Structure 1
């Protein structure tokens, strides 16, 4: 498909978050839903789930094989609903973006400020966890669809060890992720977070798993 055949309004194309909802384009289109369907047909967007779409990055325009990254789209969806400061990838999602999980997974986890049921998208399942984001240790990350917050290696270690089954990883995969993250952590910060978040037991569990695997 020729790039010239794809027409995305400038107001949408320059958004920091390339995940969009029809209501986000209410001031651009008189009837956003039919226009979004047209963008999907033209290859300029992908439908993610009911009410959510992703604008195809410029470098992938004209490539029908492109699939949005689950963790990136999950962060984008959460930002749509709770704002950039109200969402952060955590657990499996953060570990994957941090490079601690080498293989693609079909589930991701996002911290948000309220209870919400899982969302099944065309590219995987999003699990939402209610967390007070200003109590988490976060860092900025660039993803293919948005920029936003993810948990730091230290926070991710604690979260994986505290809830190892969240996201459906095997115990071996969790241990592998912990081992990959461990050299990147600050011991003093880990201990401080463990005490402050009442996750001292999770920290001991993580250390035991890493030591056992390393031995």
Structure 2
């Protein structure tokens, strides 16, 4: 019982309360079995194959699960380290309140290429977007698992517009329309210049 409780402590102390079982192999001979046993006690929540988060003590593990965005950035943080991954695109728009309806995938900017990861607790996946994360204009935002980085309103607008140059993605355009009145337009133009997205900025600004 004491060993299982220590798994919970490791998860609770981990950045964004998220661990991957492979990182427990130095402590436990059978880390997956240990994690599953603690999950059954309602102290861990399985996010994806090999990834668990500590259930906040104020919640009932039988019904609680983190938001899609929290789960995604928690998983990415367990892989790449604290304050490295950045919620981006539609996921950043979601945490900024610009996209009310749920989507089936979460987007996280990370420094290396990685295949999408299917979630275990819902129908959805984490999509890792390779970016120079240090160059992104990002801000700390609250999530169910703790504070995490997300692109700023201005960076989010530019990223969404660049990914949808013809304006065919309804969700992206809804998010851009919602974020536009709230953003700092001086900062927006500066980021566009720094990141070689002047044409993208001009296209967004046209007609507004």
The alpha carbon displacement at 1:23 in A equals 3.1
CA contact (8 A) 2:11 2:53 kept: no
Matched with 1:193 is 191
CA RMSD of aligned residues (A): 2.2
Indicate if the aligned counterparts of 1:22 and 1:33 stay in contact, CA closer than 8 A. Answer: yes
Displacement of 1:31 after TM fit? Answer: 2.8
For 1:65 and 1:43, locate their aligned partners in 2 and report how far apart those are by CA, in whole Å.
10
TM-score normalised by L of structure 2: 0.87
Equivalent residues in 2 for 1:141-152 (5 A)? 141-152=141-152
In the alignment, the residues of structure 2 paired with residue 12 and residue 89 of structure 1 have an alpha-carbon distance, to the nearest angstrom, of: 21
Q: CA deviation at 1:30?
A: 4.4
TM-score, with length taken from structure 1: 0.84
Q: Contact 1:75/1:146 (CA < 8 Å) preserved in 2?
A: no
Give the Cα–Cα distance (whole angstroms) in 2 for the partners of residues 78 and 131 of structure 1. Answer: 13
CA contact (8 A) 1:109 1:127 kept: yes
- Structure 1, residues 101-128: CA drift from partner, whole Å, max 9, x if none? 1111111111111111111112311111
Alpha-carbon deviation of 1:28? 5.0
Q: How does 1:12-31 map to 2 (within 5 A)?
A: 12-26=11-25, 29-31=28-30
TM-aligned CA distance change 1:145 to 1:104, over 3 Å: same
User: Is the Cα contact below 8 Å between 1:16 and 1:147 reproduced in 2?
Assistant: no
Counterpart position of 2:125 = 125
Q: CA deviation at 1:46?
A: 2.1
Unaligned 5+ residue runs, structure 1? Answer: 1-5
